[in-house]
């Protein structure tokens, strides 16, 4: 799969109804010899931040896992691998934050599903067809990933 195809695949998965984390993670799994279904499963808990807590955007979380897959530490004494993951993770987050102004799902979406009022707002927006376009967060994250991997 080419870089452009991976980005499009991530957006397509999101359009199908998968979370931002699932879409980003699953679209990169094959590149690392992992079945995309595993990425979909692993990314499930990161909906709406993490378990709908409104915190770190799921697209970013999925990308952080991909950085770990590529450069992650597998031996406790390999501090260089750990440092590489930290540096690339910080770069990813800084670039996402610079582009969108925040890393927080609740701020990106404009409501916080961890609260009753936020869930009501989400439901109102669903009914009115005014849900945020989270695909743009998935797309930008995948674009950044293509540049830093």
Q: pLDDT grade, residue 16 (50/70/90)?
A: very high
Residue-wise pLDDT for 72-130, tens only, equals: 999 999 999 999 999 999 999 999 999 999 999 999 999 999 999 999 999 999 899 88
**DSSP assignment of the chain:** --HHHHHHHHHHHHHTT--HHHHHHHHHHGGGT--HHHHHHHHGGGTTTTTT-S-B-HHHHHHHHHHHHHH---STT-HHHHHHHHHHHHHHHHHHHHHHS--BHHHHHTS-TTSHHHHHHHHHHHHHT----THHHHHHHHHHHHHH-
- Whether the pLDDT of residue 133 is over 90: the answer is no
Residue-wise pLDDT for 21-66, tens only, equals: 999 999 999 999 999 999 999 999 999 889 999 999 999 999 999 9
- Whether the pLDDT of residue 141 is over 90: the answer is yes
């Amino acid at each position: 799969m080419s870089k452009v195809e991976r980005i499009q695949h991530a957006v397509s998965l999101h359009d199908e109804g998968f979370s931002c984390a699932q879409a980003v993670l699953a679209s990169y799994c094959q590149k690392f010899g992992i079945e995309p279904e595993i990425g979909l499963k692993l990314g499930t808990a990161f909906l709406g931040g993490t378990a709908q807590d409104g915190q770190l955007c799921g697209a970013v979380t999925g990308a952080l896992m991909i950085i770990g897959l590529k450069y992650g530490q597998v031996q406790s004494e390999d501090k260089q691998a750990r440092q590489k993951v930290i540096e690339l993770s910080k770069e990813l987050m800084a670039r996402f934050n610079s582009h969108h102004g925040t890393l927080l799902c609740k701020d990106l979406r404009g409501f916080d599903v961890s609260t009753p009022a936020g869930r009501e707002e989400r439901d109102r927006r669903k009914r009115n067809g005014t849900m945020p376009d989270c695909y743009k967060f998935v797309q930008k994250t995948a674009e950044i990933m293509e540049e830093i991997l």
